[in-house]
Structure 1
Amino acid sequence: MIEAIIFDFGDVFIDLNKQAIDTEFRKLGLTSWHDDLDILNKKYEIGKIEEIEFLKGFQKHLPNAELDEIKEAWNTILGNFPLYRLEFLQMISSKYRLFLLSNTDHTHIEKFELQEGQTFARDFYSCFEKVYFSYEIGLRKPDENAFKFVINNHNLNPRKTLFIDDKKENTDIAEKLGLHVWNIKPGIEDVIQLFDKKIIS
């Protein structure tokens, strides 16, 4: 019997446009994703650096790009957040304990709230008992400590908790910790099909 559900954010609720971000950075002159950019991204996602340091780190590879252009390109990954997904979440919020656990950064969350509007964002956040963003808690998936942080903070029983994420590396760790998992496939599956998956009733 599932009592709690921990959701990922990107490609579960808000669609991610990975092609758009790749296209926009190529326009700015980035020919390939460098290892130091991956390190930079992960540091920003756990709040180890501020936005300005993050953007300047990109600028080292894009000397002709302005910081606001880099920020705009970075935010193009954020696609649509269909209203029906929010409505689905609102429908189940009275039946289960809901949590959000997302690898994300301040820039993307600021953009999401601006793009969808404060009312929409507030309605979304209010569906959850608690929202956890990696840049605020200093932990990111698939680090098992990120999962333990949520589980321990709310005294969750892993055997009665479902974790939904689009990345298999994340659901694999959650499963190892004893949680039920759904490794959702973006573009093929939708979170509103949750009850069709027979994971939950």
Structure 2
Amino acid sequence: MINTIIFDFGDIFINLDKDAPIIEFKKLGLTEWSTDLQELNRNFETGKISELQFIEGFQEHIPDASIEEIRHAWNSIIPDSTIPLYRLEFLQKLSTKYRLFLLSNTDAMHIEKFQHKAGMSFYRDFYQCFEKIYFSFEMGLRKPDAEIFNYVIKKHNLAPKRTLFVDDKKENTDAAKAAGLKVWNLQVGQEDVVNLFEKIIL
């Protein structure tokens, strides 16, 4: 029987607009998402580089873009409406029955933007639902690396067979499954986290 649930953040609780940054960066003159930009993103997500170093990495490809323009383009993935209230209410009810954790590949810029959009009262209510919140940029680890799942399991003495991991990316749920966790690979646009009890026998 499940007693613990580890949730991803983006497209599980907060709806992301993943096409927006591509559109915004094209406006700034970026022609392709090269492998070095992907590596730049990984380094930012794992806290290996600062926000300024991240932005300067983009400026090597779009030298005429300002710091604020790049920051705006990068943060455009986060829409004006953040977490729907019904998801927060669902999470609050869930937190009375299960140990809950948040495990997200994200960076300091996106989290700052989310908190600004949501407002202090709302994001505090959201964060308080979790026993512990893990952001990749603070941990120095990211999904789907096995190390990140093993760290959370050992740190909180979790029983993998009694722990459910929810994520929208199959490579992440596959890695969690390999670590012994139960998984739900949520299909964005077709499923909603509030339908958890319809999808998973807890």
What's the TM-score once normalised by structure 2's chain length?
A: 0.97
Rounded Cα–Cα distance in structure 1 between residues aligned with 2:22 and 2:138: 26
Q: Residue 33 of structure 1 aligns with which residue?
A: 33
- Cα distance, 1:200 vs structure 2: 3.0
Deviates more, 1:77-86 or 1:43-52: 77-86
* 1:16-68, Cα deviation, whole Å (9 max, x unpaired): 10111111111111111011000000001010000000000001111110011
Verify: 1:94 aligned to 2:88, yes or no: no
Structural RMSD (CA): 0.7
What is the CA–CA distance in structure 2 between the aligned matches of 1:100 and 1:200, rounded to whole Å? 20
| Equivalent residue number for residue 58 of structure 2 | 58
Residues 70-99 of structure 1, C-alpha deviations (whole Å, 9 max, x = no match): 001100001332111111000110100000
Give the aligned partner of residue 24 of structure 1: 24
Match status 1:137 vs 2:132:
no
SS of residue in 1 equivalent to 2:49: coil
Q: Secondary structure at the match of 1:123?
A: helix
Alpha-carbon deviations, 1:106-131, whole Å to 9, x = none? 00000000001011111110000000
Matches within 5 A, 1:1-201: 1-79=1-79, 80-197=82-199, 199-201=200-202
Letter in 2 for 1:76: S
Instruction: Please report how far the alpha carbon of residue 146 of structure 1 lies from its aligned counterpart in structure 2 after TM superposition.
Output: 0.5
Q: Taking structure 1 as the reference length, what is the TM-score of the superposition?
A: 0.98
**SS in structure 1 at match of 2:194:** helix
Distance 1:172 1:113 in 2: 30
**How many equivalent pairs are there?**
200
List structure 1 runs of 4+ shifted beyond 2 angstroms: none
Query: Equivalents in 2 of 1:85, 1:62: separation in Å?
Result: 38
Q: Distance in 1 between matches of 2:19 and 2:165?
A: 26
Give the residue type in structure 1 aligned to 2:88: L
Q: Identity percentage over the alignment?
A: 62
